[in-house]
Amino acid sequence: MTRLNLTLIAALLVAVPLSLLAGRVWIDPFHPALPNAPLIVLGLRLPRAVLAVTLGAGLGAAGAAMQGYLRNPLADPGLFGIAPAAALGAVLSFWLGLATQAWALPLFALVGAGGAMALLGLIAGRSDGGVALFTLAGMMIASLAGALMSLVISLAPNAFAQSEIVTWLMGALTDRGWAEVRLALPLTLAGIGLLRLTGPGLDALVLGEATARSLGLDPRRLQALLIGGVGLTVGAGVAVAGIIGFVGLVVPHLVRPLTDRRPSHLIVPAALAGGLLLLLADSLCRLVPLVTELRLGIALSLIGAPFFLWLLLRMRRRGVRDGGLG
């Protein structure tokens, strides 16, 4: 595990400097002819790179923890309804005309994520329904948040507000700076810390819920750690960048074959790989020769949707093969 983590860290140490040079305006580190090259690198590209690594790490760790908890390789951080609820909060800031205030959009998004976390804990955290009830509660919250978000968009006061909302929901790191880094970095690190604490419980769940309980697992504590960790990582990401999907789904699958497949050993590599994936995807968005920059959320959907389809077909073939053997 240490070797894998060191390899991913080394890849990040190479990718971050390269991302600072790439863009519509290329910067030659040996011949910096542009007079404003330091401003471009330090003021625009460096905070964007730090933010990409931060958000990718949070989404990767959240996806790994969720897949371990639900024991489902198709689990994604959006399944718990925290991402849609955070997006609903941000959309409300647009609808109320407060999004022009620097504090309003992130605050509303974090309040939305916190509300979803509280509701999820209220529904599933005080019962013994286990993973099934937890999953259904998350799906209900996601569905409700999605419906309310559509309602708010349809009631937008004008076409310009609707356009702003839809554009923001696509997810991007364009025009993000150090203020967004200061907001997202501590929240994401705190969330990853909580997800790391779920490791022993996730390992015990591999043996089944009944066996895990007999080994001393406290389901409510595990759920609370998971809700807090996913809420902080996903909520921070939505607050500063909009909805960025598929990272939490794709990254654990890419990293899992390189580990011993224990859920506790997947969280840190998934965080590092998530940061690397989001950084590379954001750099690619800057290089695509379009009139306006390709939105990061769209780029990751173009990558993630075929991967999801491939994963479904692979699971289907495996199920047919296992059924035939049975």
Q: Note the pLDDT tens digit of each residue in 169-200.
A: 888 898 888 989 999 999 999 999 999 999 99
Q: What's the pLDDT at 107?
A: 85
Helix axes 267-287, 178-197, angle to 10 degrees: 150
For every residue of 299-321, DSSP letters joined together read HHHHHHHHHHHHHHHHHHHHHHH
Average pLDDT, integer, range 207-219: 82
Average pLDDT, integer, range 240-247: 88
Please give the model's pTM, rounded to 2 decimal places. 0.88
Compute CA distances 207 → 67, 201, 204, 212, 214, whole Å: 15, 11, 6, 6, 10
Neighbours of 13 (CB within 10 A): 9
Query: HSE (CB half, 13 Å, CA atoms) of 149?
Result: 23
Q: What's the pLDDT at 323?
A: 44
Buried b (16+ CB within 10 A) or exposed e, 84-119: bbbbbbbbbbbbeeebeeeebbbbbbbbbbbbbbeb
Q: State the average pLDDT for the chain.
A: 84
- Which residue has better confidence, 291 or 313? 313
